[in-house]
């Protein structure tokens, strides 16, 4: 981060109109990433039915994208430092757009999952470059204006993305069905790419920057083994193959940890791993984000397969949850400095209360649950999640050194994506592995998520008390 600001001082600033246009390009790329990360929450049952992919395809659709994005996010940032952020941004956006088209044209489940992996990988090249590009284009005393737009824009995208996906599926434009939600990226990504080529400032990068490719490969193999084992176990029973895959994933993770301790330039700075507050927040974040990521999938499946709603209807049904996330994230922004980790604890408790309310409702009414009855508990769940999203990681980096900020931020972002992948696979494994109908499977999954959210509460005491004021 210090290097970004230092370079920004030496580079002539573009005029104000160009700066706002650059911000629009960076925001557009991040919106595309968020949309494609969330659309399969709604579309997965429709896609699985159309391609005859079964439950394993439902699980892989979201997990594959988050897996590639999370594994390569830190590596993508380092590649931008080495070869130039503009070059990596353009490469990533072009590859992301092409992979989106491949998703839309996929003839079978394996091709679609492979295309989703490629899509996530190119997304990992795009996302880390944004703040560095803005740091080079905006004066330091004005860049806060640019950053302040990310929260509202991402919040609206989180609400609008699933709704857009549901509408595209239900309207069945030109008979494309679910494929339209991927093919539309050809227009959106193409327009963003054309603007980026014209507007983004050039930078040469620093060839002296080192990149830990083997470490990233070990992490990728770790996550692939764990996810493959979980999904195979839920789809075909816990056979020798699924057990071997999970075991291989754990062994590879041990090899990854050993490399991080011994390599000269690890993905995560060793000093961060010796910081109790940071490691506690990292582990708490993994557990919490994994649980709520799986929750989103389970609620979507219950709305469609249990209550018989269309994709658009399911998307609208999830709107209270998304709205709660947006409202709480914005409201809690100014409270983080005053409340610190107490705000995180409040978020865990609110999330637990909301999921517990949902559990009681589903267990009591089953597939006869009314549409309006779900609105209040989903809103409470969203408010709890938004409170945690806005505070957990800010508090986690509350006592790190300024020189560690870049590594800490990249590590936390990558871990959140990996938790999303693991959570989507783990909770849906529980869902599909539970007999007794949709309502019972949903109730069991909600009970697990509620227990995990409550488990996170005592861990809050290990976090730093306050967030960094300047952060």
Give 116: exposed, middle or buried? Use CB within 10 Å, 0-12, 13-18, 19+: buried
Whether the Cβ atoms of residue 80 and residue 88 lie closer than 8 Å to each other: yes
Q: Find the CATH number of the domain harbouring 272.
A: 1.20.1250.20
| Residue 133 in this model has a pLDDT that exceeds 50 | yes
Structure token digits, residue 225: 């083994």
**What pLDDT score does 189 carry?**
92
Cα–Cα distances in angstroms (integers) from residue 424 to residues 38, 59, 94, 99, in the given order:
12, 7, 27, 22
With 0.85 as the threshold, say if the pTM is over it. no
Do 451 and 471 lie in one domain? The reply is yes
| Residue 373 forms part of a structural domain | yes
Tell me which residue range forms the domain holding 293. Answer: 268-471
| Residue 471 in this model has a pLDDT that exceeds 70 | no
**What pLDDT score does 193 carry?**
94
Do 47 and 162 lie in one domain? The reply is yes
Do 406 and 435 lie in one domain? The reply is yes
Do 11 and 118 lie in one domain? The reply is yes
Which band of pLDDT confidence, cut at 50, 70 and 90, is reported for residue 41?
confident
Mean pLDDT, residues 2-24: 68
| Residue 158 in this model has a pLDDT that exceeds 60 | yes
Do 231 and 137 lie in one domain? The reply is no
Whether the Cβ atoms of residue 337 and residue 461 lie closer than 8 Å to each other: no
| Residue 206 forms part of a structural domain | no
Question: 10 or 232, which is more confident?
Answer: 232
Whether the Cβ atoms of residue 427 and residue 145 lie closer than 8 Å to each other: no
Which band of pLDDT confidence, cut at 50, 70 and 90, is reported for residue 92?
very high
Q: Which of 204-218, 314-328, 434-448 has the lowest mean pLDDT?
A: 204-218
**What pLDDT score does 247 carry?**
93
Do 219 and 123 lie in one domain? The reply is no
| Residue 121 in this model has a pLDDT that exceeds 50 | yes
- End-to-end distance of the chain based on CA atoms, in angstroms? 12
Question: 422 or 100, which is more confident?
Answer: 100
Q: Write the CB contacts of 434 (distance below 8 Å, at least 6 apart in sequence).
A: 440, 441, 444, 445
| Residue 466 forms part of a structural domain | yes
Which band of pLDDT confidence, cut at 50, 70 and 90, is reported for residue 7?
very low
| Residue 11 in this model has a pLDDT that exceeds 60 | no
**What pLDDT score does 383 carry?**
92
Give 24: exposed, middle or buried? Use CB within 10 Å, 0-12, 13-18, 19+: middle
| Residue 407 forms part of a structural domain | yes
- Give the separation between CA 102 and CA 188, rounded to whole angstroms: 15
- Give the separation between CA 15 and CA 292, rounded to whole angstroms: 42
Give whichever of 94-98, 424-428, 451-455 has the largest mean pLDDT: 94-98
| Residue 9 in this model has a pLDDT that exceeds 60 | no
* Residue at which a domain ends, from 147, 172, 201: 201
* Residue at which a domain ends, from 176, 201, 226: 201
DSSP character string of 148-175? TTHHHHHHHHHHHHHHHHHHHHHHTGGG
The owner of tokens 């009970």 is 447
| Residue 471 forms part of a structural domain | yes
Do 144 and 183 lie in one domain? The reply is yes
**What pLDDT score does 173 carry?**
87
Compute the 3-state secondary structure of the chain and give helix, strand, coil in percent, each to the nearest 5: 85, 0, 15
Do 35 and 147 lie in one domain? The reply is yes
Whether the Cβ atoms of residue 57 and residue 47 lie closer than 8 Å to each other: yes
| Residue 4 in this model has a pLDDT that exceeds 50 | no
| Residue 95 in this model has a pLDDT that exceeds 90 | yes
Do 313 and 347 lie in one domain? The reply is yes
Instruction: Give CA 318 to chain center in angstroms.
Output: 17
| Residue 207 forms part of a structural domain | no
Do 395 and 438 lie in one domain? The reply is yes
Mean pLDDT, residues 104-126: 93
| Residue 94 forms part of a structural domain | yes
| Residue 130 forms part of a structural domain | yes
Mean pLDDT, residues 49-74: 87
Helix (H) or strand (E) holding 31: helix 16-51
CB atoms inside a 10 Å sphere around CB 100: 26
- Give the separation between CA 105 and CA 430, rounded to whole angstroms: 31
**What pLDDT score does 352 carry?**
94
Mean pLDDT, residues 205-219: 82
- Give the separation between CA 133 and CA 85, rounded to whole angstroms: 7
Whether the Cβ atoms of residue 419 and residue 456 lie closer than 8 Å to each other: no
Do 231 and 326 lie in one domain? The reply is no
Which band of pLDDT confidence, cut at 50, 70 and 90, is reported for residue 286?
confident
Question: For the chain, how many structural domains are there in total?
Answer: 3
**What pLDDT score does 210 carry?**
79
Q: In the chain, pLDDT over 90 holds for what percent of residues?
A: 24
Kindly calculate the radius of gyration of the chain based on its CA atoms and give it in whole angstroms: 21
| Residue 201 in this model has a pLDDT that exceeds 60 | yes
| Residue 359 in this model has a pLDDT that exceeds 90 | yes
* Residue at which a domain ends, from 201, 223, 252: 201
Whether the Cβ atoms of residue 166 and residue 312 lie closer than 8 Å to each other: yes
SS (H, E, C) 195-236: HHHHHCCCCCCCCCCCCCHHHHHHHHHHHHHHHHHHHHHHHH
Mean pLDDT, residues 66-86: 86
| Residue 295 in this model has a pLDDT that exceeds 80 | yes
**What pLDDT score does 14 carry?**
78
Which backbone phi and psi does 254 adopt, to 5 degrees?
-60, -40
Do 103 and 240 lie in one domain? The reply is no
């Amino acid at each position: 981060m210090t290097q970004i600001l230092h370079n920004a001082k030496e580079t002539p600033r573009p005029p104000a109109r160009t700066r706002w246009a650059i911000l629009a390009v960076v925001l557009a790329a991040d919106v595309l990433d968020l949309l494609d990360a969330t659309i399969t929450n709604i579309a997965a049952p429709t896609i699985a039915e159309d391609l005859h992919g079964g439950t394993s395809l439902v699980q892989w659709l979201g997990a594959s994208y988050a897996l590639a994005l999370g594994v390569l996010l830190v590596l993508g940032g380092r590649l931008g430092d080495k070869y130039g952020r503009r070059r990596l941004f353009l490469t990533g956006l072009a590859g992301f757009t092409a992979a989106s088209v491949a998703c839309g044209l996929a003839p079978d489940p394996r091709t679609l999952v492979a295309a989703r992996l490629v899509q996530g990988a190119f997304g990992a090249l795009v996302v880390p470059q944004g703040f560095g590009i803005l740091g080079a284009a905006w004066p330091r005393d004005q860049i806060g204006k640019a950053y302040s737009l990310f929260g509202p824009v991402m919040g609206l995208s989180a609400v609008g993305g699933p709704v857009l996906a549901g509408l595209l599926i239900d309207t069945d434009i030109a008979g494309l069905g679910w494929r339209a939600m991927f093919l539309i990226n050809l227009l959106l990504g193409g327009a963003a790419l054309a603007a980026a080529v014209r507007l983004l400032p050039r930078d040469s990068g620093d060839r002296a920057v080192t990149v830990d490719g083997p470490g990233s490969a070990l992490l990728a193999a770790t996550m692939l083994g764990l996810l493959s084992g979980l999904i195979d176990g839920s789809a075909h029973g816990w056979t020798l193959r699924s057990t071997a895959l999970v075991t291989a994933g754990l062994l590879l993770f041990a090899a990854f940890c050993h490399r991080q301790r011994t390599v000269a330039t690890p993905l995560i700075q060793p000093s961060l791993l010796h910081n109790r507050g940071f490691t506690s927040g990292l582990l708490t974040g993994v557990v919490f984000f994994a649980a709520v990521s799986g929750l989103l999938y389970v609620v979507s499946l219950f709305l469609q397969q249990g209550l018989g709603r269309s994709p658009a209807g399911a998307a609208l049904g999830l709107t209270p949850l998304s709205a709660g996330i947006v409202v709480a994230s914005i409201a809690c922004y100014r409270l983080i400095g005053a409340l610190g980790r107490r705000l995180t604890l409040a978020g865990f408790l609110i999330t637990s209360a909301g999921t517990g309310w949902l559990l009681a409702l589903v267990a009591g009414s089953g597939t006869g649950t009314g549409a309006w009855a779900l609105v209040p508990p989903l809103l409470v769940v969203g408010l709890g999640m938004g409170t945690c999203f806005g505070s957990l990681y800010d508090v986690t980096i509350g006592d790190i050194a300024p020189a560690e900020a870049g590594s800490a931020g990249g590590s936390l972002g990558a871990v959140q994506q990996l938790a999303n992948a693991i959570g989507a696979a783990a909770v849906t494994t529980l869902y599909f592995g539970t007999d007794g109908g949709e309502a019972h499977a949903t109730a069991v999954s909600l009970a697990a998520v509620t227990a995990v959210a409550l488990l996170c509460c005592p861990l809050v005491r290990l976090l730093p008390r306050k967030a960094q004021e300047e952060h």
